[in-house]
Amino acid sequence: MRKPTPLPTELDHRGFLVDDAYASGVPRWRLQTSGYVTPSRGLRLAKGNEPDLELLARLHTAVTSRCAVSHFTAALLWSMPLPLHLEEEGLSGLIHVTRRHEAGRMKRRGVVGHRAPLLARDVRTLNGVNLTSPEWTFVDLALHMGRASLVAAGDYLLARENPLSSVEAMREVIERRPKVKGIRMAREVLPLLRSGVDSPQESRLRMKILDAGLPEPAITKAIFDEYGRYISTPDLQYEEYKIALEYEGDHHRRDPVQWGKDIERDDRLRAMGWIVLKFSKVQMNAGWTHSERKIKDALRSRGWRRPPS
């Protein structure tokens, strides 16, 4: 048996196009050794490596012209939050790829092919991968996600630091795709998106509050004391009623320094007359009935009354 020769340095040893290997002088027999798998024709991946979504996406968009990874694949590469079942599907090894209508649907093993009237501005390049723009991807997700999850994904695109999109850009794509499946959900969700949200769970908490018929809390608004000193920026708040709502993720619990700072912050708010309500994954799921009552009771204690229907 021949001893495998090292691959040329210009090839990514984790995975590459067969045509690129031949162009670099790699003999055919070298690509037929047991060290490689063929995820799709014209591609090779080194055996034993952890699945790499970005590498697979880069290879698939390189081997086929006029295409872009899309749907769940693009959402994961943009780091958009997805419900767990969609995240698992996106990481399953199947790559979603969209081509322009005139190019024809991509038909390859391991690929879910789509066709759409993509314009140049609907395709971006991220780390060498051609993928659908954040706003185009948002509309693609609308068919597959519930309202709260789609709001969380849209809020993520409007992040306080380095936002990936804007409401105007999303509206432009929505108006340009009036007949795509899921467009009604995308239209419904657009007015609910807010910029400056720090986590998907904050978005979901806000939606649960709205679905309960309670007033919408403000997002990431700084609170100062009577001397103008900064105290806190709660995840959500009712400034009029002096009620702060905080979602506590696992990182708060695991980091004792952060946990201590949170306790001191909340003590300062309470000293200023604020009610501080805290929520975790438990309160958001099985414990939501109690959490909803807790918010209502706090609002009523500060004079809020539900307007007559």
Q: How confident is the model at residue 252 (pLDDT cuts 50, 70, 90)?
A: low
Residues of 207-227 as b/e, b for ≥16 C-beta within 10 angstroms? bbbbeeebeebebbeebeeee
Task: Give the model confidence (pLDDT) of 136-157 as tens digits.
Answer: 999 999 999 999 999 999 999 9
Q: What is the reported pLDDT for 238?
A: 97
CATH class, 200-301 region: alpha beta
Q: What is the pairing mode between strands 275-279 and 243-247?
A: parallel
| Residue-averaged pLDDT of the chain | 89
Phi/psi zone of residue 114: left (φ > 0), alpha (ψ -120 to 50 degrees), beta?
beta
Domain segments of the chain as ranges: 1-50, 54-192, 200-301
Residues of 131-155 as b/e, b for ≥16 C-beta within 10 angstroms? bbbbbbbbbbbbebbeebbbbbbbb
**Does the pLDDT of residue 165 top 70, yes or no?**
yes
Q: Which residue has the tokens 């709260």?
A: 148
Q: What is the reported pLDDT for 124?
A: 96
* Six-digit token string for 145: 């996600």
Contact indicator for 207, 151 with CB cutoff of 8 Å: yes
Give pTM, 2 decimals. Answer: 0.88
Q: What is the reported pLDDT for 142?
A: 97
Task: Give the model confidence (pLDDT) of 111-137 as tens digits.
Answer: 899 999 999 999 999 998 999 999 999
